[in-house]
Structure 1
Amino acid sequence: MNKAQLVTKIAEKTNFTKKDSEKVLKATIESIVEALTEGDKVQLSGFGTFEVKNRKARVGRNPKTNEEIQIPEFKQPAFRAGKDLKDIINK
């Protein structure tokens, strides 16, 4: 499912226009991104948790040349599914 299909699905379920549904989706995504940027965790009960994880610097290998390369430390967004979501998917 892509963004346009998701907007259509939201519009059908809420009786909003597609334009309003797209605004709601955009605002939701922006709010989650802002929270993660500020270092906060976003927890949606029954759905899951969005958070930022720190990845330590490490040594990797270039698969073509087998040369060692330094991979710098970086932050990575992560999503952890909640119990209710896992139960629904595994039915």
Structure 2
Amino acid sequence: MTHKELTAELAKRLGWTQARTSLVLESAVSIIGENLANSNSINIQGFGVFEARLRQERVSVNPVSKQRFLVPPKITPAFRPGQTVKDKLKNL
């Protein structure tokens, strides 16, 4: 589903204009992004948890030259689905 399709579906369900729905959706995404940047987790009940996870440093190997190099640690976003989402996916 694209951003445009999601906005249209939300607008239809809420009875709002697509412009208003798009603004609300962009605000929600912005809030989630800001919280993840600050290493806070976001729990949406019945949907899941967005969180920032620290990936440890590791040694990687270039397959062509066989040269080993160190990949530094980094913070990555992660999503853990809630039980409701897991149950819906299981029943497909």
TM-score range, shorter chain: over 0.9
- 2:38 aligns to what? 38
Computed over aligned residues only, the root mean square deviation of the Cα atoms, in angstroms, reads: 0.9
- 2:88 aligns to what? 88
Q: What is the CA deviation profile of residues 1-48 of structure 1, one whole-angstrom value per residue up to 9, with x for unaligned ones?
A: 111111111111111111011001100000011111112110011100
Task: Give distance in 1, aligned partners of 2:66 and 2:14.
Answer: 54
Taking structure 1 as the reference length, the TM-score comes to: 0.94
- Percent identity, aligned pairs only, is 30
Gaps of 5+ in 2: none
Gaps of 5+ in 1: none
Taking structure 2 as the reference length, the TM-score comes to: 0.93
- 2:58 aligns to what? 58
* Number of residue pairs matched by the alignment: 91
Task: Give distance in 1, aligned partners of 2:63 and 2:11.
Answer: 46
